[in-house]
Amino acid sequence: MQKVSQSPIDDDFVQNPYPFYEMCLARGGKVFWSDYNMISLFKHEDVSKILKDRRFGRECPEEKKQGYRKELAPFYELEDHSMLQLEPPKHTRLRGLVLRAFTSRKINSMTEEIRTLCNQLTQRFSGNRVNILNEYANKIPVIIIARLLGVPEQMSDQLLRWSNDMVMMYQARRTEEHEARAVKASQEFSMFMRQYVNERRNKPEDDLITHLISAEEDGEKLTTEELITTCILLLNAGHEATVHSLGNGIKALIENKDLKIDWKSEDKINRLIEEILRFDPPLHIFTRYAYEQIDLGDYTIKKGEEVALVLGATGRDKTIWEDPCSFDPDRTIKKNTAFGGGIHFCVGAALARLEMQIALPMLFKEYPYMEFAEPPRYANVYHFHGLEKLSINLQG
């Protein structure tokens, strides 16, 4: 297996990781990425298979656990209850209970609320030049999840700060300063959610916290710690995925403004959303542990070995997509890996897609001549992939 080196915090890579992905795909799609010290898979077929292969999982095997510094305990104690880090049977129970509360019916009932919010936000833009991330893309997912949970949307800026600080723990540029901020955010966010969980136990409301409290399967309910962690996960993961997808999508549409989008066609909008998720997805790496020795043909993965699934590369796989480096909103929809797959498929994927299906048409119908006020730049947040700023001249 070929060994490759590419720093995930190098600015050229952060701004455009796709040439590196294309190089790895050209070398067969299986390489040892020395900066991560693990085998990394880039091909759509390989990544899709392992996402669904139960011989791989997210939960770290006991023999590989290294522990953590005690000052990081507030963060990792939350992680211990996160369905993102668990495997069956714990994961099955937890996800099943969450899905009983976070239903497709509940998500679809938010359609008009999302539409109203997007309209309000576009009407609040002041002047011609706007940071569309701060004034639009950032606000939509955090306000909607706050309303779903039943916490004050006036807290959305604080929720966003907690979320941003916590997800620094997953980034390649993580430092001790980032860790300290993540720990502080974990403590404050947990205290905040505990207050609302306790309130809803005594005074139920028609909100997600109450539905999570009442969700029951085989006589089991979520514990308080599981409730708190689940609410935090829904906000953190949901916000990161949606804001990056919206920002990346707005950027792609402005860069390709010669493409005419039929904003009245539901089919065209759905194709556009899937093309954005394929072309420039919000999450670029998801790892799995091998729970037994597994033969990949030209390489044998040892039991306990961690494997990087490079989701960001799968949309550039020429064996799946014709002319994959081109942004084509009319492309025939094929299943992409932007929201993962298998038992860890993102529970908020339907909500993220709904928010994009509403937010993008409303923005571009209101401001069809948008131009960049300055060149857009991606934030140094890999393995996430999203913009740090998107300054727009609304009227071109």
In three-state form (DSSP H/G/I as H, E/B as E, the rest C), the secondary structure along 268-294 is HHHHHHHHHHHHCCCECCEEEEECCCE
Around Cβ 324, how many Cβ atoms within 10 Å?
A: 22
Taking 50 as the pLDDT cut, the residues of the chain under it are none
Token pair recorded at residue 307: 């494997």
Measure the CA–CA gap between 39 and 290, rounded to whole angstroms. 11
pLDDT at site 207: 93
Q: Contact, 212 vs 98, CB < 8 A? A: yes
Cα distances (Å, whole numbers) of residue 57 to 51, 61, 188, 343? 8, 9, 30, 9
Cα-based distances in Å from 245 to 102, 163, 278, 284, 314: 21, 17, 10, 12, 16
pLDDT tens sequence across 58-77: 999 988 888 788 999 999 99
Task: Please state, in angstroms and rounded to a whole number, the distance separating the CA atoms of residues 336 and 279.
Answer: 10
pLDDT score, position 68:
83
The strand pairing partners of 289, in sequence order, are: 57, 306
Angle of CA points 325, 327, 328, to nearest 5°? 120
CATH code 1.10.3720.10 for 2-393 = no
Q: What does the block give as tokens for 385?
A: 């992939």
Q: CA-CA distance, 348 to 239, in Å (whole number)?
A: 10
Instruction: Say how far apart CA 363 and CA 130 lie, in whole Å.
Output: 12
- Of the chain, the end-to-end C-alpha distance in Å amounts to 49
What pLDDT, on the 0 to 100 scale, is given for residue 218? 65
- pTM for the complete prediction? 0.95
pLDDT at position 381: 95
Q: 């394929």: which residue's tokens?
A: 278
Instruction: Find the DSSP H helices in 109-259.
Output: 111-123, 132, 139-149, 156-167, 176-202, 208-214, 224-255
- Which pLDDT value is given to residue 54? 96
Phi and psi angles of residue 73, each rounded to the nearest 5 degrees, phi first: -55, -45
- pLDDT on residue 217: 67
Using DSSP, state whether 30 is helix, strand or coil. Answer: strand
pLDDT at 333: 87
Instruction: Count CB-CB contacts under 10 A for residue 220.
Output: 12
Of 282, 285, 240, the C-alpha closest to 383 is 285
The tokens of 56 are what? 């791989």
Distance of CA 106 to the CA centre of its chain: 20
Whole-angstrom Cα distance, residue 18 to residue 284? 11
Token readout for 368 is 């069809």
Identity at 302, one-letter amino acid code: K
Cα(260)–Cα(241) distance, integer angstroms: 26
Q: What is the pairing mode between strands 306-309 and 38-41?
A: parallel
* pLDDT on residue 298: 79
Instruction: Round the CA-based radius of gyration of the chain to a whole number and report it.
Output: 21
Instruction: Please state, in angstroms and as integers, the Cα–Cα distance from residue 35 to each residue in 5, 140, 381, following that order.
Output: 6, 35, 16
Q: How far apart are CA 353 and CA 376, in angstroms?
A: 23
| β partners of residue 131 | 391
The answer, yes or no, to whether the previous bond of 89 is cis (omega within 30 of 0) is: yes
CA distance 395 to 35: 43
